Amino acid sequence: MRGVLILLVVLAATVGVCRAGESGDAQNSGRERVVLPSAVVRSVLYDREAKRLWILFPGNTVYAYESVPEARFAALITAESAGAYFQTHIRNQYAARRVVTEVAAHRSGGKRN
């Protein structure tokens, strides 16, 4: 789990390094990171093996969504509106949990989200 948190910290800290819609190397061929041109969804990371989708929202809030098919991830990153697609096809459709990152804790003055 610590490796995932480190990956999410890197994800949160490097948002904007990739141009909008461009894939980033998540240092693992089974994972893909994409920065999106969206006011609702800043960046996503998808683990093909675990079928887990992490979404970075404004304010560096990260949620992990479980058992998300790869087709949903592909549709999200190619949707005309990532925010609308998320609201309709992902939010409340998959088990989700908020992930506390070191970046978020640091920005909130040490308080964990």
Question: What residues does each domain of the chain span?
Answer: 2-107
Write out the two tokens for 75: 């549709």
Answer yes or no: is pLDDT of 8 > 60. no
Q: Evaluate the CA torsion angle 44, 92, 85, 47 in order and state its sign.
A: positive
CA-nearest of 70, 74, 67 to 96 is 67
Q: pTM of the prediction?
A: 0.69
pLDDT, tens only, 9-51: 445 443 333 333 444 444 445 899 999 989 999 999 999 999 9
Query: Crossing angle, helix 70-78 and helix 82-89, to 10 degrees?
Result: 150
User: Looking at residue 59, what is its pLDDT?
Assistant: 87
Q: What is the DSSP string of the chain?
A: -HHHHHHHHHHHHTTTSSPTT-EEE-SSTTEEEEE-S-SS--EEEEETTTTEEEEEEGGGEEEEESS--HHHHHHHHH-S-HHHHHHHHTTTTS-EEEE--HHHHHHTTT---
